[in-house]
Structure 1
Amino acid sequence: MTDMTVVQEKMKAIATAHAEYAKSSFEANKAYLAKIATIKAPDQAIEVTTEYMKSAYESFVAESTKIGDMYKDFFKSAYAPLTAGKSNLAA
């Protein structure tokens, strides 16, 4: 049987990571909109938008990788007792 406290801790960490990413993404969007609202020239708007999109993409990839690794670790620990039981049955 899986130790439920470990499962709960890992799920809590995953939920926290999702919430932190959502918060940082919202703050970045807010800063971008505030910056774009003050721009007068189209070329400046394109430059700011390009910088924002690059930053948003890099942040998304990094956070997705981190959270994906957290899920992978969660499933490994959650299903470890099942795989251990399977090897005991084979012996």
Structure 2
Amino acid sequence: MTDLAPVQAKLTAITTAQTDYAKAAFEANKTYFEKLATLKAPDEALKLTTDHMKSGYETFVAESKKIGEMYKDFFATAFTPIHH
């Protein structure tokens, strides 16, 4: 019999990380559009957009790497042979 608790815990952690990232990305986009709506000068809008895109990309890369490692760990745990 296999103890599935570690596998379930890793899967739950992955789901939580994905949900947290989605929420954070939504909030970052919401904040961006709220700020963009208040700007008057095109150069300010360009800077805000550039900064937002850079930050979004960097966050995406970091979160993708983190979640990818979590999946790697999950599969290693889930498919480890059971020794009696």
Q: Shorter chain as normaliser: what TM range?
A: over 0.9
How much identity, in percent, do the aligned residues show? 60
Aligned length: 84
| Residue 58 of structure 2 corresponds to residue 49 of structure 1 | no
When normalised by structure 1's length, the TM-score is 0.86
**Structure number with bigger Rg:** 1
CA distance in 2, matches of 1:2, 1:69: 23
Deviations 1:20-58 (A, max 9, x none): 001111110011000000011111111000000000000
Moved over 3 A (4+): none
Stretches of structure 2 lacking an aligned partner (at least 5 in a row):
none
CA distance in 2, matches of 1:24, 1:43: 26
Give the counterpart letter for 2:56 in structure 1. Answer: A
How large is the Cα RMSD of the aligned pairs? 1.6
Equivalent residue, structure 2, for 1:88? none
CA distance in 2, matches of 1:39, 1:53: 17
CA distance in 2, matches of 1:52, 1:2: 46
Stretches of structure 1 lacking an aligned partner (at least 5 in a row):
85-91
When normalised by structure 2's length, the TM-score is 0.93
Structure having the larger proportion of residues in helix: 1
